[in-house]
Amino acid sequence: MKETRLDLRGLRCPYPVLRAKKALRDIDIGGELVLECTDPLTVIDVPHFVSQTGHALVAQDRQDDLFIFRIVRKR
């Protein structure tokens, strides 16, 4: 499946989650969305958003001040 990447560096919550929500609407079921964020609160907000919306958080990583999330659209 195609991977879509969003560079959300510098955006504060709730904007990374809002952008992810919008991007997931445009991705086919089974497609992957990769978020690159710098706001430390995304570590809480993104997993919560994913679980509440029925998608799958398949990877979460941190590289220095960069938080990376890999989400698979499930519905």
Beta bridge partners of 59: 70
Contacts 24+ apart (CB under 8 A), 18-21: 20/46, 20/49, 20/71, 21/49, 21/53
Catalytic residues: 13
Instruction: Output the six-digit token pair for 34.
Output: 């990769």
